[in-house]
Structure 1
Amino acid sequence: MSEYLTIVRHPLVQHKLTLMREAGASTAEFRRLLREISQLLAYEVTRDLELTTRPIDTPVCAMQAPVLAGKKLALISILRAGNGLLDGVLELIPSARVGFVGLYRDEVTLRPVQYYVKLPQDLAGRLVVAVDPMLATGNSAVAAIDLLKEAGATDIRFMCLLAAPEGVARMKEAHPDVPVITAALDERLNEHGYIVPGLGDAGDRMFGTK
């Protein structure tokens, strides 16, 4: 991926995102759409995975067939809302290793507070995809990427549903080597650190906690 920020403008992605933005979308509908859109975003994230070949027998003849090369990739969910994206990507790549980074945003300082970390072993040499629906201030994403690099990850990508310009700038400043893949770059953050026009709190809408 040559550009730091990739906006996936596929019509199905944009259509599903509009349905998710609507305030009247039910919890079940929001969750289903998030899972579906995560698979479409994952196609873009994994577009340039390396391939090798191995011999197989088709019903007609033998051939050298393409298969993924190298170590299985690792998916890292930034809790709690990241699990909505994680579920969809795992349906597409069921053999991926999975890790979790638990961060919540202090509503006063807007800074991330860490409460849980569990990562796969041997992140070096793997493609590591961190997932979180919202890249708002960028503080939680930066903190999560810091942890991944400390654990040895060198090939990291960040996949989100929505991004704010402030969050993209924060990520690029802290981790210019980590591409960001998103469905939309929205206008701005409001005074509470929420993305505008956004879709509200993704975790609350996914789990029905508000």
Structure 2
Amino acid sequence: MQGVTVVEHPLVQHKLTLMRQKDRSTKGFRQLLNEIGMLLLYEVTRDLPLEAVEIETPVTRMMAPQLVGKKLVLAPILRAGVGFLDGMLDLVPSARVAHVGLYRDPETLSAVEYYFKAPSDLEDRLVLVLDPMLATANSAVAAVDRLKERGARDLRIVCLLAAPEGIAHFTSVHPEVPIWTASIDERLNEHGYIVPGLGDAGDRMYGTR
């Protein structure tokens, strides 16, 4: 699908298979989500710009590549998106963090905002919107809407699973925002869950129902 990158790295696919298993413990699921988040961040940032700077090694001076510009903003959609955060911050500890609090209305499946906090200079930074499941995409659309209102111009979606219906909805509203995912699954069921999916990521992270 145009604008969608499926990360097919063997480690990503292996960890995703472990996460899909219904008997995976809460601790195990949370740890795997942390690990796979780090691997996804590695892929989604492979085109970050570099500049040559002069450094001194223990042997000699040299020109070496270094990231240029302001650092990333990681924007997890609460609550499940937080599962990606620690692994990604381990990889890029200087990243800023925005929090987008949304929940899905069980009747309408629409996204309802209850919290939003973000850095003041989003227009100068690459913003990665984090949500394990791109199902209906209502939450992702609402999050990107809100971040754009705050000034964000360079955004990317990072998710674990995506449904074709969610991709179609999201790209119809925000066609310029690319998506990175570990898998495009078959479909949504009548309750708006991804099939075959892995259940509710937030519930499986925190042991709730």
TM-score by length of 2: 0.98
Cα RMSD, aligned residues only: 1.0
Q: Which residue of 2 is the match for residue 52 of structure 1?
A: 51
Per-residue Cα deviation, 1:18-73 (whole angstroms, up to 9, x for no partner): 00000000000001100111111111110100001221110110111111000111
Q: Which residue of 1 is the match for residue 160 of structure 2?
A: 161
Aligned-partner Cα distance in 2 for 1:137–1:183: 17
Alignment of 1:43-192 (within 5 A): 43-192=42-191
Return the letter of the residue paired with 1:59. Answer: P
Aligned-partner Cα distance in 1 for 2:124–2:3: 21
Aligned-partner Cα distance in 2 for 1:153–1:36: 27
Aligned-partner Cα distance in 2 for 1:52–1:123: 22
Q: Which residue of 1 is the match for residue 30 of structure 2?
A: 31
Aligned-partner Cα distance in 2 for 1:91–1:182: 20
Runs of 4+ in 1 over 2 A off after TM superposition: none
Shift of 1:87: 1.6
Return the letter of the residue paired with 1:183. Answer: A
SS at match of 2:39: helix
Return the letter of the residue paired with 1:159. Answer: V
Aligned-partner Cα distance in 2 for 1:156–1:149: 9
Aligned-partner Cα distance in 2 for 1:44–1:151: 26
Aligned-partner Cα distance in 1 for 2:85–2:145: 20
Aligned-partner Cα distance in 2 for 1:35–1:107: 27
SS at match of 2:94: coil
SS at match of 1:161: strand
Aligned-partner Cα distance in 1 for 2:81–2:170: 17
Aligned-partner Cα distance in 1 for 2:101–2:125: 21
| Residues 1:15 and 2:17 are matched in the alignment | no
Alignment of 1:1-12 (within 5 A): 3-12=2-11
Aligned-partner Cα distance in 2 for 1:98–1:14: 27
Aligned-partner Cα distance in 1 for 2:108–2:83: 26
Aligned-partner Cα distance in 1 for 2:108–2:149: 24
Distance change >3 Å, CA 87–CA 54, structure 1 → 2: same
Aligned-partner Cα distance in 1 for 2:118–2:2: 27
Shift of 1:3: 4.5
TM-score by length of 1: 0.98
Aligned-partner Cα distance in 1 for 2:71–2:39: 20
Per-residue Cα deviation, 1:166-201 (whole angstroms, up to 9, x for no partner): 110011000001000000000000000000000000
Return the letter of the residue paired with 1:178. Answer: V
